[in-house]
Amino acid sequence: MPIGQLIRRNFHGERHDNGSIPLISVPRILSRLAQGLLVVFISASIAFLLMKSVKGDEFTHLLESTNTSATLIATLREESGHNAPLLTQYGSWLSRVVRGDLLPSSSHPGDSVASLIRSALPNTLLLMTLALVSSMAGGIALGAWQGVKAGTRFDRASNRITLSIISVPDFWVAMILILLFALHQTWFPTGYMSSNRSDLSTWEMLRDRLHHLVLPWFSLTLINAAAFARYQRAAMRDVASQHFLRTARAKGVPESIVIWNHALRVAVLPLVTIAGMFFPALLVGTILIEKVFSWPGMGSLLTKAVSSRDYALVCGIIIVGSAMAALGSLLADIGRELLDPRLRS
């Protein structure tokens, strides 16, 4: 399928007729933004519904563990609005979400959901962005190289290798890596984000952090890089037959510049869109890997919240997670707008 037509699809997958006016960028970005907000809104609503469907609420435990009287609990419920009609509760829930002031977490009595997420989010973002950048870089490079060497044994062999790699669950890779490199050979730590020591100088602390980053980052990168490589390879194959490359070659442009400047520039474009769609997958992978490595991020928080039935925290994380996914695709879209001159008005 020629690449030209590939990129003229809009996000519905519809094909544009050739010769139509290129899409104007700003309204498209705005509509994407609106769509992202809608996504977050719907996630908040789903979270609300889930919380309401649970039998009992944050006051149930009071009834059993202490001798608080039933009337006192009824008063508390009344005060916090549990007896209000559903729509009113929904409205107040939404206003809480917007303000960022969610209900207190039941598994962490002292901390509010917002503060827990605030302390966990940067750790997850660190891991995710590093993994995304390196997997994109590695995948694009590998895919481009495969495109250069299309049809050779290297191409076929690495295709098989990438196919095998994307068949592996990332958390299993993480566990195997721990077994091999953290237990059998103690080159890397088995988990945590840092070695929890306060007496290190800044340089040593940075090195400590990097040391703890290696295994989680690698397990996340490996599979995503293979996936990107496969997409890139397909894209390169499409570009390879394009006329403009033939022209460049006829002009006498050296082959490496033909590939790396001309072809790659065009072939990278669908990858940027795909990167936006990769964000949810990366998020899921990060959640699983955080559990394996005891990495103190949103994933560990979510895992513990799910198993201890801390609904307020689960809801908070769902909302933040959807916001992150929506933001990821929005950024990818903006990236596409910037990179593809054909889409600029």
Partner 1 sequence: MRRPELRALFFRRSVLLLWGFMLTILVAPFFAPHDIRSPEQVSTTQYQPPSPNHVMGTDNLDVDLFSKVLKGSQVSLIIASTATAITLAIGLAYGMICAIAGGWYDAVLMRITDISFSIPRFLILLAISSVVTEPLSVPQLILLIGMTGWFDVARITRGEVAGLLKRDWVLAVQATGVGHLRLAARHIFPHLVPILVVMATLGIGHTVVLEAGLMFLGAGGLNGSLGNLLQDGSGISSMTHWWMVFFPGLAIVLIVLACNALGDALRDVFAPEQVHAWPTT
Partner 2 sequence: MCSGCRQRCQSHPGSGADSLTLTSYACVCFGAIRIRRPRITAEAPTNIFPIRMSFKFNGVNMMIARRVAVGAASTFSRLMTESNRAFMARSVLATLILATACGSDKKGPTPRSGGAGVGGSVIIAEPLDFSTFYPPAVDNALDFAVVNSVFDRLADIGDSLNTIGDAGFVRQLAKEWKWAGDSLSIAFQLDPTARWHDGVPVRAADVQFTFRAYTDPKAKGANVDYLSNIDSVSVPDSLTAVVWFKRRMPQQFFQATYHMYIMPEHRLSKIPFDKLEADSITQAPIGSGRFRFAKRVPQQSVELVSDTGNYRGRAKLDRVTFAISSDASAAILSVFGGQADFYEKLRVEDLPTVARTPSLRAQAFSQSMYAYLSFNLRARTNNKAPNPLFADVNVRRALSMAIDRKSATRAVLDTFGAPAIGPSPRALIVNASDIKQIDYDPAHARALLDSAGWILPKGGDVRLKDGVPLSFQIAVTSTSQNRQTFAKSMEGQFRNIGVKATVRTMEMQVVREEVSTGNFDTYLGAFGVTPGLQGLSGAWGTRGIGGRNFGGYSSPAFDAKIDSALSAFKAPVANQLWVHAMQQIINDAPAIWLFEDINIAVINKRIQLPPMRADGWFAHLADWSIDPSQLSR
The stretch among 41-49, 57-65, 191-199, 256-264 that binds partner 1 (CB under 8 A) is 41-49
Buried b (16+ CB within 10 A) or exposed e, 241-260: ebeebeebeeeeeeeeebbe
Considering only residues 223 to 242 of the shown chain, the ones binding partner 1 according to CB under 8 A are 227, 230-231, 234
Q: How far apart are CA 282 and CA 225, in angstroms?
A: 11
- Phi, psi for residue 113 in degrees, rounded to 5: -60, -40
- Phi, psi for residue 325 in degrees, rounded to 5: -65, -45
* Shortest distance, position 305 Cβ to partner 1, whole Å: 7
What is the SS3 assignment for 198? Answer: coil
What is the SS3 assignment for 299? Answer: helix
Question: Residue 18 binds what, of partner 1, partner 2, none (CB under 5 to 8 Å, by partner type)?
Answer: none
Q: Confirm or reject binding of residue 38 to partner 1 (CB under 8 A).
A: yes
Residues that bind partner 2 (CB under 8 A): 60-61, 64-68, 104, 106-111, 115-116, 119-120, 178, 182-193, 195-201, 204, 207-208, 210-211, 214, 290-294, 296, 300-301, 303-304, 307-310
DSSP 26: H
Quick one: which of 18, 20, 21, 55 contacts partner 1 (CB under 8 A)?
A: 55
DSSP 165: H
Question: Residue 175 binds what, of partner 2, partner 1, none (CB under 5 to 8 Å, by partner type)?
Answer: partner 1
Q: Confirm or reject binding of residue 191 to partner 1 (CB under 8 A).
A: no
Q: Is the dihedral of CA 63, 69, 70, 71 positive or negative?
A: negative
What is the SS3 assignment for 127? Answer: helix
Quick one: which of 24, 84, 257, 306 contacts partner 1 (CB under 8 A)?
A: 306
Tokens 């495969």 identify what position? 146
Q: How far apart are CA 213 and CA 188, in angstroms?
A: 9
The residues that touch partner 1, with contacts defined as CB under 8 A, are 1, 6, 11-15, 35-36, 38-39, 42-43, 46-47, 50, 53-55, 163-164, 166-169, 171-172, 175-176, 178-179, 183, 227, 230-231, 234, 274, 277-278, 280-281, 283-284, 287-288, 291-292, 302-303, 305-307, 309, 311, 314-315, 317-318, 321-322, 325-326, 329
